[in-house]
């Protein structure tokens, strides 16, 4: 039985109910005027659409060939750039190789000469008639996907794997366009007028996802896991999780970090690390992956890499272990390669002179080699990035490609976040135990390892894998934990003399913490932490005999993980702020 209407109008006005003739003429005139006005608006709208359609360049004719070969066809080039240069770009965009995709005068320049994508091979006419949908699809092909990985044929293979499927799967189609619209808005500064567009695609994608999930409930879980609909559903949810625009509406504090990291736009890290993944969609993604039997069973090109990359970003923001191991776009596991093995410009003397060599002290006091190597790799990666971003470096041609450098950066960050904590594992997982070693002698190695791990995490998310300090979870508590670790190491040496290596370790950890604490210097707790780090550096420098920032950098910091381009400015600000603790000539200040 139909539900009754909420409102019922009794004796409402009608033409037949009008008693006076003048009122009848007046009412009929208003109705006719309203109808004529509506016809005029519809006619004007139709003429405007015809003009826009006439000004749109014609699409390439459909070719009669297979889906693998019919995706490339001739298309006239545009005279004006389709995707404008964002107003907030820096020279780092050009260094990372992504600025060229936004500022090029020809959006098809990275394809073969005179070729473009023939969308009409898969998409119906009503989709291609929507100029905005066509622009967003082209934005994915020519900007978004090449920005993830630019070398080889990754954009074309990703296109072949997913765009044909999106034509028949609304959840994949609309989530893909929503992802492109959010990215386009962030790179061009056009956010307000695109909100309705993103909301429309998001709603349609969620509606289609619900229909697919509802249909899957009528089938067995095994049949759904083996169906061809699972992975398109998975990447659609992943697109929605990565397009979490709630961060734009939350009042995050301005990032006041003193670190100035390079390559922050590499693989769109600056965009997708603006905030955590959408919790509901990300949980759904993990559920689907579990139904597939793990990420190793996800085979469609590009999805395994994108899944592991999103997991890595989420772990870096929340300072937890990544959910998935790193995979290549072709679903193969990423094989570990030392940062220096990617380069051909270093001889054996350069490999042992610095670049993380200070971390080997942990190995000398019993910390396991596989754990120490993660810290050493962090120092080597810092050196490689420093050389890669130095345009005047004569050995730059011997350095790895931008994609290989990005993969190496992801690998080091993944291994660093996966390091065990003292609360999570047994002592034997950290220390090589010997029969003649008393239990009390293990306190210093364990405390040094844990303090070094926290400092290395702070350094990595600030320099090598930069995350906006404003969105880092538990940032003040992490600085507090580092402070407690440094104090505990000093407490164990009360009444004794700190070894030179231990002093250097403490100095590196304290300087990293001091620079990081500047981001929260406006809050009461942050101000207290910054003052504590400044006083601690002053005391350690007196014990170490360091009286200038140049000596601090060259003798201590460069032996661990340090990048002059990203850290020197913040380190010098920190040094000048504790200058009052020293009694030396101003000439030695720097």
Q: Are residues 505 and 363 both part of a single domain?
A: yes
Q: Is residue 20 part of a domain?
A: no
Q: What is the model's pLDDT at position 351?
A: 52
pLDDT-derived band at 42, boundaries 50, 70, 90: confident
Q: Are residues 237 and 356 both part of a single domain?
A: no
The DSSP string of 323-391 is SS--B-TTSPBPPP--GGGG-SS--HHHHHHSSSGGGHHHHHTTB-HHHHHHHHHHHHHHHHHHHHT-T
Q: Is residue 272 part of a domain?
A: no
Are 327 and 299 contacting, i.e. CB atoms less than 8 angstroms apart? no
Helices (H), 440-474: 443-459
Task: Among 239, 267, 295, identify where a domain stops.
Answer: 267
501 secondary structure, DSSP code: H
Q: Across the chain, what does the average pLDDT equal? A: 77
- For residue 419, pLDDT over 70 is answered with yes
Q: What is this structure's pTM?
A: 0.78
Go through 231-267 and write b for each residue having 16 or more CB atoms within 10 A of its CB, e for each that does not.
bbbbbbbbbbbbbbbeeeeeeeeeeebbbbbbbbbbb
Task: Among 267, 289, 310, identify where a domain stops.
Answer: 267
CA 232 vs CA 153, 177, 289, 300, 469: distances in Å: 21, 14, 12, 9, 34
Task: Among 267, 298, 325, identify where a domain stops.
Answer: 267
- Nearest CA to 578 out of 567, 589, 563 is that of 589
Name the 3-class secondary structure at 116: strand
Q: Are residues 240 and 355 both part of a single domain?
A: no
Backbone region of residue 523 per phi and psi (left: phi > 0; alpha: psi in -120 to 50; beta: other values)? beta
- Nearest CA to 380 out of 419, 420, 350, 414 is that of 350
Q: How far apart are CA 278 and CA 232, in angstroms?
A: 18
Q: Is residue 299 part of a domain?
A: no
pLDDT-derived band at 493, boundaries 50, 70, 90: confident
Q: Are residues 354 and 209 both part of a single domain?
A: no
Q: Is residue 306 part of a domain?
A: no
**∠ CA 55-61-65 to the nearest 5 degrees?**
155
Q: What is the model's pLDDT at position 44?
A: 78
- Tokens coding 134: 């066509």
Name the 3-class secondary structure at 129: coil
Residue identified by tokens 């992801």 is 410
- Tokens coding 527: 């101000």
- As a whole number, mean pLDDT of residues 284-298 equals 93
Q: Is residue 172 part of a domain?
A: yes
Backbone region of residue 346 per phi and psi (left: phi > 0; alpha: psi in -120 to 50; beta: other values)? beta
Q: Are residues 502 and 392 both part of a single domain?
A: yes
CA 331 vs CA 114, 211, 334, 532: distances in Å: 32, 28, 9, 47
Q: How many folded domains does the chain comprise?
A: 2
- Rg from Cα positions in the chain: 30
pLDDT-derived band at 209, boundaries 50, 70, 90: very high
pLDDT-derived band at 7, boundaries 50, 70, 90: low
Q: What is the model's pLDDT at position 124?
A: 60
pLDDT-derived band at 111, boundaries 50, 70, 90: very low
Q: How far apart are CA 63 and CA 41, in angstroms?
A: 39
pLDDT tens, 511-532? 999 999 887 767 777 788 889 9
Q: Which domain holds residue 397?
A: 344-588
- Nearest CA to 570 out of 298, 273, 255, 341 is that of 255
Q: Are residues 227 and 369 both part of a single domain?
A: no
Q: How far apart are CA 283 and CA 87, in angstroms?
A: 35
Q: Are residues 145 and 248 both part of a single domain?
A: yes
Q: How far apart are CA 356 and CA 340, in angstroms?
A: 11
72 secondary structure, DSSP code: E
Find how far residue 533's CA is from the centre of its chain.
30
Q: Are residues 369 and 506 both part of a single domain?
A: yes
- As a whole number, mean pLDDT of residues 560-589 equals 77
**CA atoms lying within 13 Å on the CB side of residue 357:** 12
Q: Are residues 252 and 364 both part of a single domain?
A: no
Write 59-65 long-range contacts (CB < 8 A, 24+): 59/118, 59/119, 59/120, 59/128, 60/116, 60/118, 60/120, 62/118, 62/120, 62/121, 63/118, 63/121
Q: How far apart are CA 558 and CA 307, in angstroms?
A: 35
State residue 108 phi and psi, 5-degree precision: -105, 10
Q: Are residues 353 and 241 both part of a single domain?
A: no
Q: Is residue 323 part of a domain?
A: no
Q: Is residue 202 part of a domain?
A: yes
Q: How far apart are CA 382 and CA 356, in angstroms?
A: 9
Q: What is the model's pLDDT at position 399?
A: 67
Q: Is residue 135 part of a domain?
A: yes
pLDDT tens, 443-470? 888 899 999 999 999 999 999 999 886 6
- As a whole number, mean pLDDT of residues 318-347 equals 84
Q: How far apart are CA 44 and CA 551, in angstroms?
A: 74
Q: What is the model's pLDDT at position 154?
A: 86
What number of residues does the chain have?
590
Are 244 and 277 contacting, i.e. CB atoms less than 8 angstroms apart? yes
Q: Are residues 357 and 248 both part of a single domain?
A: no
Q: Are residues 384 and 250 both part of a single domain?
A: no
Percent of the chain with pLDDT over 70: 67
């Amino acid at each position: 039985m139909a539900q009754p209407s909420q409102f019922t109008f009794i004796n409402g006005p009608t033409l037949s109910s009008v008693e006076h003739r003048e009122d009848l003429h007046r009412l009929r005139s208003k109705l006719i005027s309203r109808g004529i006005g509506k016809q005029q608006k519809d006619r004007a709208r139709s003429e405007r659409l015809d003009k826009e359609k006439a000004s749109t360049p014609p699409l390439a004719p459909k070719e009669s060939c297979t889906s693998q070969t019919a995706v490339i066809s001739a298309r006239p080039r545009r005279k004006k750039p389709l995707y404008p240069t964002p107003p907030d770009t820096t020279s780092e965009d050009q260094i990372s190789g992504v600025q060229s995709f936004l500022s090029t005068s020809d959006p098809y320049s990275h394809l073969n000469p005179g070729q473009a994508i023939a969308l009409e091979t898969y998409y119906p006419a009503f989709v291609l008639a929507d100029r905005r949908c066509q622009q967003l699809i082209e934005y994915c092909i020519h900007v978004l996907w090449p920005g993830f990985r630019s070398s080889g044929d990754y954009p074309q293979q990703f296109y072949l794997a997913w765009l044909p499927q999106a034509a028949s799967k609304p959840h994949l189609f609309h989530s893909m366009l929503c992802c492109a619209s959010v990215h386009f808005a962030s790179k061009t500064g056009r956010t307000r007028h695109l909100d309705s567009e993103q909301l429309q695609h998001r709603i349609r994608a969620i509606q289609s996802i619900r229909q697919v999930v509802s249909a899957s409930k009528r089938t067995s879980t095994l049949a759904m896991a083996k169906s061809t609909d699972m992975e398109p559903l998975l990447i659609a949810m992943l697109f929605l999780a990565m397009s979490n625009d709630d961060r734009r509406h939350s009042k995050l504090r301005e990032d006041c970090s003193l670190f100035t990291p390079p390559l922050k736009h590499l693989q769109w890290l600056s965009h997708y690390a603006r905030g955590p993944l959408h919790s509901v969609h990300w949980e759904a993604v993990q559920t689907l992956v579990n139904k597939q039997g793990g990420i190793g069973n996800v085979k469609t090109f590009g999805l395994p890499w994108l899944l592991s990359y999103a997991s890595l970003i989420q772990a870096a923001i929340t300072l937890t272990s990544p959910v998935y191991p790193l995979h290549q776009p072709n679903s193969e596991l990423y094989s570990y390669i030392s940062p220096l093995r990617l380069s051909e410009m270093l001889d054996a003397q350069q490999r042992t002179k610095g670049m993380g060599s200070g971390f080997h002290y942990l190995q000398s006091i019993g910390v396991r080699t596989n754990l120490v190597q993660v810290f050493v790799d962090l120092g080597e990666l810092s050196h490689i990035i420093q050389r890669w971003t130095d345009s005047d470096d004569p050995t730059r041609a011997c350095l790895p490609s931008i994609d290989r450098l990005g993969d190496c950066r992801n690998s080091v960050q993944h291994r660093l976040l996966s390091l065990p904590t003292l609360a999570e594992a047994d002592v034997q997982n950290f220390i090589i135990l010997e029969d003649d070693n008393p239990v009390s002698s293990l306190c210093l190695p364990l405390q040094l390892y844990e303090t070094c791990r926290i400092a290395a995490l702070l350094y990595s998310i600030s320099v090598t894998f930069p995350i906006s300090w404003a969105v880092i979870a538990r940032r003040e508590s992490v600085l507090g934990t580092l402070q407690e670790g440094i104090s505990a190491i000093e407490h164990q040496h009360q009444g004794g003399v700190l070894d030179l290596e231990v002093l250097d370790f403490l100095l590196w950890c304290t300087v990293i913490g001091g620079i990081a604490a500047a981001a929260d210097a406006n809050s009461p707790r942050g101000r207290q932490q910054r003052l504590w780090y400044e006083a601690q550096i002053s005391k350690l420098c007196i014990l170490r005999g360091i009286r200038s920032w140049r000596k601090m950098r060259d003798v201590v910091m460069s032996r661990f993980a340090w990048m002059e381009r990203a850290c020197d400015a913040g380190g010098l600000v920190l040094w000048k702020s504790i200058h009052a603790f020293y009694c030396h000539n101003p000439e030695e200040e720097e």
